[in-house]
Amino acid sequence: MPSVVILSHQEQLERLGEECPEALGRAVVAGDVCFDRLVASLPWREDYRAALGLRPGQRLVVVSSTWGPRSLLGEDPGLIARLIADLPVDEYLVAAVVHPNVWHGHSPWQVRAWLADCRRAGLVVVPPREGWRAALVASDLVIGDHGSVTLYGAALGRPVLFGSFPADAVDPRTALAELGRHAAVIGDRPLAEQVDSAIAEHDPRTGARVADGAFAVQGRAAEILRAHLYRLMRLDPPAAWARTSPVPPCGPEPRPWADAEQPALLATVTITRSPGRADFVVERFPAELADLRAAPLRANRHLVVDGTETDHRLRGLADIVVQRAEAHSRPAFDDRDDLVVAEARRDGECRLRLPGDGVLRLRADAAIDPSVLASAIYAWVAEGHPIAALPATLSTRLGRVEFPFTGERVSG
């Protein structure tokens, strides 16, 4: 019999009394240090989001899988790829949190291999030991299963979708089971639609209900645990309070050197013209997960490839190549006469070299990827409009963000 049995909630005390009544005298309801640290980390949410590379207007979707055949990855291993393929990259960033048992049971090499195409498409892979808590704090939605990460996300107040939930494997009296009875399970509708609905329809009161059902004495777990540990050691606890520290930011798994620094993107642009004004709506999706066997691409869709792209197939199909100021190498693209080159500079300016039509300097005040502006102008020219006919007022919408930009001819 252990000296102390630590429990996180009164509900566990009741179950312990049913299963092992002789242990009740040694049981302590101490809450949950992990949850207390997550709550303490909430003021640093924007720092965590910045560490993960989120841009203004982007939402973070955390996909969490526990281990075993009935986990999210066990039941639907293709979900992450379908999710990334369906969500516009400028509106959503997807991060994967995979249980350490999967990493070490199958090997880190195998996990990275399973997720390789998703990583090339922009997936952030959270390391197995540290980072998942910061990712939860930074998240806007959690897609999970019956693992504890899903419960922590819901208790923090994040909307939850279940990719898998084996109800018969969860004790029906637990907070997790209660969450499973009410949270939506991913169905047959387009994933982007389900993600948007889950976020828009989320009841902000749900988080408090889940937290109260799972974690007792919130905010005091470190204090209670320390007092009991010092009692076991027959020592007086320190006079200072027991500190509950925020979690460190997430350092994602590094990308392999052969992967482009920015994923290749398929961009669709819709242009609305009015007197003295042109408005562009740009949507972009990862080319890595698209079917590029049907060529040429649709008239209103084009392929944007980073200058660091090593895939010769994508390089050969590219409509726009983006050369970034911070890139160390600038590989040739076979001297193609039809290729549009966008030179993205550190000051946010983009110089667009159009075949046979000179150089256009593009600039937006917003901190956005300058290649978005390149896509807007590419679509303008593809529709048959001359550069000289660009109106004085230009605006681009990228997901939920709209911003003005300017364009002027320059030499060289």
In a domain, 71, yes or no: yes
292 and 352 housed in the same domain: yes
Q: Are 319 and 334 in contact (CB under 8 A)?
A: no
What's residue 257's pLDDT?
A: 81
Q: What is the extent of the structural domain holding 227? A: 1-31+216-245
| Residues 370-383 pLDDT 10s | 889 999 999 999 99
Burial class (CB within 10 angstroms; exposed 0-12, middle 13-18, buried 19+) of 78: exposed
Q: What is the mean pLDDT of residues 136-154?
A: 97
How many domains does the chain contain in total?
Answer: 3
In a domain, 210, yes or no: no
Q: What residues contact 149, with CB distance under 8 A and at least 6 apart?
A: 62, 64, 66, 97, 132, 136, 142
What's residue 339's pLDDT?
A: 86
Q: What is the mean pLDDT of residues 112-139?
A: 96
Pick the last residue of a domain from 155, 181, 204: 204
279 and 241 housed in the same domain: no
In a domain, 385, yes or no: yes
At residue 297, the 3 state secondary structure works out as coil
In a domain, 254, yes or no: no
DSSP code, position 164: -
139 and 5 housed in the same domain: no
Give this prediction's pTM.
Answer: 0.92
102 and 183 housed in the same domain: yes
The count of residues in the chain is 412
325 and 404 housed in the same domain: yes
In a domain, 370, yes or no: yes
87 and 8 housed in the same domain: no
What's residue 292's pLDDT?
A: 63
Residue 401 and residue 192: Cα distance in Å, rounded?
17
237 and 152 housed in the same domain: no
Dihedral pair phi/psi, residue 285, rounded to 5°? -130, 150
Q: Is the pLDDT of residue 294 over 60?
A: no
75 and 197 housed in the same domain: yes
In a domain, 251, yes or no: no
200 and 271 housed in the same domain: no
DSSP code, position 142: E
Q: Is the pLDDT of residue 337 over 80?
A: no
308 and 193 housed in the same domain: no
197 and 49 housed in the same domain: yes
